[in-house]
A and B are shown apart, each in its own frame.
Chain A
Amino acid sequence: MGRDLEKYLRPEVKSTPFCPGCGHGILMNLILRAIDDLQLRMDEMLFVSGIGCAAWIPSPNFNADTLHTLHGRAVAFATGAKMFNPKLKTMVISGDGDLASIGGNHLIHAARRNIDLTVICANNMIYGMTGGQVASTSPVGAITSTTTEGNIYRPFDLCKLVLGAGAPYVARYSVTQPVSLIEAIKKSLTIEGFTFVEVLSTCPTQFGRRNRYDSPTDMLTMLKESCISKQEAEQLTPEELQGKVITGEFSDGGA
């Protein structure tokens, strides 16, 4: 491991917990770099996660207090922890299935109540750890273990969802945009109130191999090509926007 990140991991951690080439590993790297840039103290932070591959980003790897909770309930646990000890900088890191499908209600109500939490949602568009089932974030046409002929339902736009619920800081970037993503994570940690960063990630094992992205790099290339900026999106017709994902800041928290 790089020496500059060593101090943020527990000494007994000897590798990342992910499959080779998993996008969540890139996100883990970038979260630690954002924390390093801000010089935050790990003993003043609490990391909360639910269940799923993304929940292993902080727990039990980060050298801080980590709370690995029930499936879908990370935001609820984080709300309680924050009430008990408001001084702790509290960061929820979990996946799309956990935060948006199973825990969708906790997510919108924490945003509505503007609880002082940073929520990083690693969205790989599928339930990875539990066997590759369709999620509320899977694109139309996605082949999953429960939609073998392609998903017929449109996916949630998570940024619009939390924005509609009143979150002051909302951004979306992909793991293929590491510099922008580090900046967004830094802002989400600095702005007070409910801050939300949706991170488009990749699951080469469960999503990639079912959808003809044969390698981790193929999946990242697909993701890179589907991401466009807000400015680019304004120039496109609804037809041209099909299959594209808009990235950027959707609410800047007054910063």
Chain B
Amino acid sequence: MARAFVTKIVTANDLLVGDAVYLTSSNLWSRDFHEAKICLNEDEATRLLDSTNFHQHHIVGAYLADVAARDGRPVELLHFREKFRTKGPSNYFHGKQEFNNQQGVA
């Protein structure tokens, strides 16, 4: 039996700053993964990832990340590495967590 497909989003690093960004349904990059477009099957995921070939002057190293989704929106990144990328390091209050409050992101 084929393994059940886990919902995915496309993530990359921003070219200028280097932080994590996520591909939205309007084909733009957001710093908030909640805004990412979710892919419900393998084909969709591959297609969306391939589309980032045209974004190379904004981002670096796009790849797929597993998420839990509700009502068609991502609610939680599943791997701890991806969770860390949404916040920043644990030793200083740097990176995304510095700005998240302003953006209203948990």
| Same assembly | no
